[in-house]
Amino acid sequence: MNKEKMYKKTEIEMIKKRLKNQKIETPSWGYGDSGTRFKVFHQEGAAREIYEKIADAAQVHKYTGITPSVALHIPWDQVDDWLELKEYTEDKGLKIGAINPNLFQEEEYKLGSLTHPDEQIRKKALDHILECIEIMRKTGSKFLSLWLADGTNYPGQDDFKARKHRLEDALQKVYQAMDDDMTLLIEYKFFEPGFYHTDIGDWGMATLLAKKLGPQAKTLVDLGHHPLGTNIEQIVAYLIDEDKLGGFHFNNKKYADDDLTVGSINPYELFLIYNELVAGEEEKEMNVAYMIDQSHNIKPKIEAMIQSVMNIQEAYAKALLVDRESLKEAQQAGDVVMAEEILLDAYRTDVRPLLASIREEMGVPINPLEAYRNSGYASKIAEERG
């Protein structure tokens, strides 16, 4: 009872190795100003364009050591010379990660993009995605990360099935256009900005789509895109089992898609999700894009990103500590209390010493947040960027 596992040295070494191999992608849009529909608050020194965003992302990597790539949003991060951006990024010790097409900020997309009743607008949206695939080729990106804001606001506004067919048709073309080593990540979202319905409204819709398309299409789980009360870790386990877990957009929420710091509302849930991921890793090869998607409206951008990375790292560390053999035994025996306590034993462990140890070995500060705060970078960019 209260089964506290004793770890062998080899086990600890293996856990440390896996922690050092952890990789989390940060999003370019997490470094610029953001806000709610009521107000975008300006932060001093917030990155204004992609080069500044890359520079800021490099800071997060410098202090945490586990965020070596940056996701781009097109056309927000559009540049004339992709090679130059690629080189700049590599100079900063990073690489370009997922490419995110933007299908929601043009006037034409008011009633939809790939699902719009008007064929011309659907074509425009499709062309934009095809252009993003070109950008992937130029930047070496392997993930096309598709969030479709398409939906309707009112009953009757459009035909669910007609929109579904338009979407399936368009994604077939996208899928055909991808290279063999590219993956299409299909994101789902329960609501917003469509307030009556969303065309890809849940993991079921996304996964049925991905199944129709083929093995290079997978489902993307954004932690904030579920109805309240959803068991996300179950969805993650099911997707792993179906070979359809493509990636994550990490964040947290209390009510809607709040885009808060990862783990800030329910850190135990984050641990339970990582518990499934660790179990998955031990069972099969997984090609999962672990990405952060947040918009920190009131916290300093880089600090909040470091916090998020550290919270994810902590969840992974704790999940690695779970005594899976004993857990399986307890489950098989129907010992509900013991099974839960085995998880809790790992969760209750203070993993800060363990993380300090791997950070030391990786040559990054033991306390990334403090080190970043003390570095003077924030005041430097506040001054430089006006």
Taking each helix axis from N to C end, the angle separating 203-213 and 232-241, rounded to the nearest 10 degrees, works out to 10
User: Residue 143 pairs with which residues in a beta bridge?
Assistant: 183
Among 176, 181, 298, 384, binds its own copies (CB under 8 A): 298
Q: Is 303 near its own copies (CB under 8 A)?
A: yes
**Hey, which residues between 36 and 65 contact its own copies (CB under 8 A)?**
36-39, 41-42
Among 6, 120, 180, 229, binds its own copies (CB under 8 A): 229
Find out whether 147 and 187 touch, Cβ atoms under 8 Å. Answer: yes
Q: Degrees (nearest 5) of the Cα angle 96, 99, 101?
A: 155
**Hey, which residues between 271 and 290 contact its own copies (CB under 8 A)?**
272, 275-276, 279
CA dihedral 135, 50, 103, 189 (to 10 degrees): 110
- Minimum distance from CB of 46 to its own copies (Å)? 12
Q: Which is nearer to its own copies, 139 or 297 (CB)?
A: 297
- Span interacting with its own copies, options 19-27, 46-54, 73-81, 221-229, rule CB under 8 A: 221-229
Find out whether 74 and 131 touch, Cβ atoms under 8 Å. Answer: yes
Among 100, 207, 294, 313, binds its own copies (CB under 8 A): 207
User: Residue 25 pairs with which residues in a beta bridge?
Assistant: 69, 291
- Residue 124's SS3 state is helix
- Span interacting with its own copies, options 73-81, 83-91, 134-142, 184-192, rule CB under 8 A: 184-192
Q: Is 172 near its own copies (CB under 8 A)?
A: no
**Rounded CA separation 362/44 (Å):** 31
How many residues of this chain bind its own copies (CB under 8 A)? 108
Q: Identify which of 184, 78, 185 has the alpha carbon closest to the alpha carbon of residue 139.
A: 78
Among 264, 290, 321, 358, binds its own copies (CB under 8 A): 264
Q: Which is nearer to its own copies, 52 or 199 (CB)?
A: 199
Q: Which is nearer to its own copies, 185 or 327 (CB)?
A: 327
Q: Is 159 near its own copies (CB under 8 A)?
A: yes
**Hey, which residues between 341 and 380 contact its own copies (CB under 8 A)?**
341-343, 347-350, 352, 367, 369-370, 372-374
Q: Identify which of 86, 176, 89, 207 has the alpha carbon closest to the alpha carbon of residue 136.
A: 86
Among 268, 287, 361, 385, binds its own copies (CB under 8 A): 268
- Angstrom CA distances, 22 to 37, 86, 90, 231, stand at 35, 23, 19, 24
Among 66, 304, 319, 320, binds its own copies (CB under 8 A): 304
Tokens found for residue 377: 């970078």
Give the x-and-dash track for 81-120 against its own copies (CB under 8 A). Answer: -----------------------xx-x-xxx-----xx--
Q: Which is nearer to its own copies, 184 or 209 (CB)?
A: 209
Find out whether 47 and 31 touch, Cβ atoms under 8 Å. Answer: yes
**Rounded CA separation 154/131 (Å):** 32
